[in-house]
Amino acid sequence: MKLNYKRTILVGFAFFLISAFWQAYDTIVPLILNNKFGMNQTNTGVIMALDNIFAVFMLPIFGNLSDRVNFRFGRRTPFIVVGTVCAVISFIIMGFVNSLILFIIFLLLTLISMATFRSPAVALMPDVTIKPLRSKGNAIINLMGTLGGAIVLLSASIFKTSEEGKTDFTFYIIAVCGLMLVALAIFLATVRENKWANEMRVLTEQLQCDQEETLNEGGKLSKGQLTSLILLLASVALWFIGYNAITSRYSVYATDFLKLSYSTTLLIANVAALIAFIPVGIIASKIGRRKSILIGIVILLTSFVGASFIREGSSNIVMFILFALAGIGWATINVNSFPMVVELAKGSNVGKYTGYYYTASMAAQIVTPVLSGALMDAIGWEVLFPYASAFVALAFVTMLFVKHGDSKPIKKQGFEALDVED
CA distance 323 to 261: 13
Q: How far apart, in whole angstroms, are the C-alpha atoms of residue 171 and residue 294?
A: 41
Q: Return the domain boundaries, the chain.
A: 5-406
The pLDDT of 78-92, averaged and rounded, is 95
- The answer on pLDDT for 217 being more than 60 is no
pLDDT at 219 > cutoff 80: no
pLDDT value of residue 419? 42
Mean pLDDT of 417-422: 42
For the segment 131-150, the average pLDDT, to the nearest whole number, is: 85
pLDDT exceeds cutoff 90 at 412 = no
Query: What pLDDT, on a 0 to 100 scale, did the predictor assign at position 415?
Result: 40
CA nearest to 284, candidates 343, 210, 337, 233: 337
- Which residues, 6 or more positions from 377, have their beta carbon under 8 angstroms from its beta carbon? 40, 41, 42
pLDDT per residue as tens digits for the range 389-410:
999 999 999 999 998 877 655 5
pLDDT band at 139 (very low <50, low <70, confident <90, very high): confident
- CATH number belonging to the domain at 5-406, selected among 1.10.274.30, 1.10.357.10, 1.20.1250.20, 3.30.1180.20: 1.20.1250.20
> Model's pTM, two decimal places?
0.75
Helix (H, G, I), strand (E, B) or coil at 71: strand
What are the respective helix, strand and coil percentages of the chain, to the nearest 5?
A: 80, 0, 20
Interval 258-315: pLDDT, tens: 777 677 788 888 889 888 888 988 888 888 889 999 999 999 999 999 988 888 777 7
153 pLDDT band (50/70/90 cuts)? confident
The candidate with the shortest Cα–Cα distance to 172, out of 25, 44, 30, 51, is 25
What is the rounded distance in angstroms from the CA atom of residue 95 to the CA atom of residue 306?
36
Share of the chain above pLDDT 90, in %: 34
Q: How far apart are CA 370 and CA 379, in angstroms?
A: 14
| 161, pLDDT greater than 80 | no
Q: What tens digit of pLDDT does each residue of 183-203 get?
A: 999 999 999 998 998 888 888
Cα 267 from chain centroid (whole Å): 16
**What pLDDT score does 189 carry?**
95
Q: Which of 72-86, 126-140, 160-174 is predicted with the least confidence, judged by mean pLDDT? A: 160-174
Q: For position 408, what pLDDT does the model report?
A: 58
> What confidence score (pLDDT) does residue 44 get?
83
Confidence of residue 15 (pLDDT cuts 50, 70, 90): very high
Spatial distance between the Cα atoms of 198 and 136, rounded to a whole number of angstroms? 20
**Does residue 127 surpass a pLDDT of 70?**
yes
30-43 pLDDT per residue, tens = 888 888 888 887 78
Report helix angle 100-115 to 13-31, nearest 10.
160
| pLDDT on residue 421 | 47
Q: How far apart are CA 259 and CA 307, in angstroms?
A: 15
Q: State the average pLDDT for the chain.
A: 84
What local confidence, expressed as pLDDT, does residue 407 receive? Answer: 63
pLDDT grade, residue 348 (50/70/90)?
Answer: low
What pLDDT is attached to residue 293? 94
